[in-house]
Every structure is written in C-alpha cells, then in structure tokens.
Structure 1
C-alpha cells in the first residue's frame, strides 16, 4: 500500500484554507453587523441537559444593553449602511465558500 503524501498535503491545505476563510469571513461579518448597529440578540432556548440557560430578566437586560449600544454608535447613517452591506457580503462569501467545497466534493 502506497500513500500519496502530496495529495494528502493538498487536501490538508485546502481544508485549512477553507476553514480559515469561512471562520474569518463569518467573524468579520458579525463585527461589521455590530458596527452597523444591528446587534444579533438570540433568545434563550430550553435545554434538558446541563447547559445553563439565561433567565428572561437576563435576556431583557441583554436586549436593553444592545439597544443602548446601538444608540451610542458614532457612525453616520451612510457608514452604518456600508458596514451592513459589508457584513452581508461577508456572509455571502461564507456561503459561497461552503457551496464551493460541496461542489468540489460532489464533482471531484
């Protein structure tokens, strides 16, 4: 049995680059979304295992803090729109990277 180490390294490099791109674009998209004043607040879910769930009071406090931070935003309306557009472009790049990976797996 012979192992093609060059092919192994190519797959490893492609997976590493793909993971870095997806995580990097997603993180940048979240950062731009927050900068645009659209802080994503996720309501807590009920879990049956040992996962800690925040209370309704904590959820209201987080929403209030997000609204307060959005009011303090020093950016102009145009800058907020540019940040939001950049965030959506980053999320689209994440989606395209995932789709490209799936196409490489299916076609290749």
Structure 2
C-alpha cells in the first residue's frame, strides 16, 4: 500500500484558508470600527443561558446603552463624515460576506 500526498494541493488549501481568514476577520473588524465611528455603536441585549455564562443584568445593559449613546453624542465627526463612515462600514461588511461566499464557491465548484 503506497500513500502519496499531493503537497501542492495541500499548500493551495492552506494558502486559501489563510487568506480567507485574514480577509473575513479584517473586513469585519474594519466594518465594526467604522460603524462605531459613525455613531452606531452596536449594543447587544444579554442572552439567557443555563449556568454556562454569567449574564449581565438589566441594569448593566441599560448602563452600557447609556454609555453608547453618550459616546455617540461626543463624536467629533461632521454629519457628512458620519455618513461616509456608515457607508464604508456597510461596504466592509459586504466585502466580508463576499469573501465568505467566495470561499463557499471554491469549495462547491472545485
């Protein structure tokens, strides 16, 4: 029994996975940062878990929402800059989704 490994294919898969991971994480991080700069701080409501994770209380959630609203008011950007940052954030999230879709197409079509 002779097993051979196609090392070129292995390197291709490794490179594609590395590039895809960098693109997805990078575009998502940039999009999230631009979203915050645009004054749209994402505040996630706490979820209920059964003894798995300590969940923040309603008081802490209200405090986080209040802090996010206060930070949005203190934003030094003009309205035009905020709109540009918001559009750029959505574009970055779109590129993130396209990177994921491209990876799925590589898997399906290969």
TM-score range, shorter chain: over 0.9
Match of 1:43 in 2: 45
1:42 counterpart SS class: coil
Query: Segments of 4+ in structure 1 off by > 2 A?
Result: none
For 1:3, the equivalent position in structure 2 comes to 5
Which runs of structure 2 are paired with 1:26-65 in the superposition (5 Å)?
Answer: 26-65=28-67
TM-superposed deviation, 1:73: 0.2
Q: Which range moved further: 15-24 or 98-107?
A: 98-107
Match of 1:95 in 2: 97
Other-structure match for 1:75 = 77
Report the RMSD for the aligned CA atoms in angstroms: 0.6
Displacement of 1:10: 1.0
Instruction: Choose the corresponding residue for 1:104, options 77, 82, 106.
Output: 106
Post-superposition offset of 1:7: 1.1
Q: Distance in 1 between matches of 2:54 and 2:90?
A: 31
TM-score calculated relative to the size of structure 1:
0.98
Q: Give unmatched runs, 5+ long, in structure 1.
A: none
SS state at 2:18 partner: helix
Which ranges of structure 2 fall in alignment gaps of 5 or more residues? none
Offset at residue 29 of structure 1 (A): 0.2
Aligned residue-pair number: 108
